[in-house]
């Protein structure tokens, strides 16, 4: 009877260890794609975009060579296109008023993902004044800053969006010329 009890206890311990090992392997699969929680789930990506929108005035102040719309009384410059590339990086597209025309810009923004929330948004670089950039420029930006194995997630506002908080994922790559 004692041997059966000891065997049952050993089997329970082994089962518990196996459960934790399998659970951790599932988490590592997401990390292998270079995606944090903030990038790996649709709701989290939309929330990350909304946090960029909410913090845009602070983020845009750190973008060099950028004359802000606000300084000229023009309309809001909230980015209209987003592409998550892994490693807690997102490519954004927005307009820049150069005094005469609105010039589209593509920039790279990094962020922290702690407790399943994006924060500490940091400007990394302006990639191009041409939008959309040529494939080679986009590929270089993604190779230099994105995750090695990655899934791209592209977001735009749906037609007729009533607020800056509505975003839909689209299949096409919004950041390359066709």
| Residue 69 near residue 48, CB atoms below 8 Å | no
Q: What angle do CA 99, 109, 94 make, to 5 degrees?
A: 30
pTM: 0.71
| Residue 118 near residue 53, CB atoms below 8 Å | no
Comparison of pLDDT for 64 and 97, the residue scoring more: 64
Domain boundaries, the chain: 32-170
Does residue 159 surpass a pLDDT of 90? no
Does residue 27 surpass a pLDDT of 90? no
Does residue 150 surpass a pLDDT of 50? yes
What pLDDT shows up at residue 128? 56
Comparison of pLDDT for 31 and 69, the residue scoring more: 69
| Residue 178 near residue 170, CB atoms below 8 Å | no
What pLDDT shows up at residue 34? 52
Q: Distance between CA 138 and CA 147 in Å, rounded?
A: 14
């Amino acid at each position: 009877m004692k041997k059966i009890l000891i065997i049952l206890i050993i089997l329970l311990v082994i089962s518990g260890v196996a459960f934790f090992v399998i659970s951790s392997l599932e988490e590592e699969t997401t990390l292998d794609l270079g995606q944090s929680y903030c990038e790996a789930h649709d709701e989290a990506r939309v929330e990350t975009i909304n946090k960029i929108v909410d913090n845009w005035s602070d983020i845009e102040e750190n973008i060099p060579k950028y004359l802000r719309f606000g300084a000229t009384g023009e309309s809001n410059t909230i980015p209209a296109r987003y592409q998550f590339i892994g490693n807690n990086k997102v490519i954004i597209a927005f307009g820049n008023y150069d005094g005469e025309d609105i010039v589209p810009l593509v920039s790279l923004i990094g962020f922290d993902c702690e407790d399943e929330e994006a924060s500490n948004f940091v400007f990394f670089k302006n990639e191009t004044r041409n939008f959309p950039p040529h494939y080679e420029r986009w590929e270089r930006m993604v190779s230099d800053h994105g995750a090695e194995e990655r899934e791209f997630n592209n977001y735009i506002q749906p037609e007729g969006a009533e607020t800056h908080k509505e975003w839909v994922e689209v299949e096409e790559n919004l950041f390359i010329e066709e």
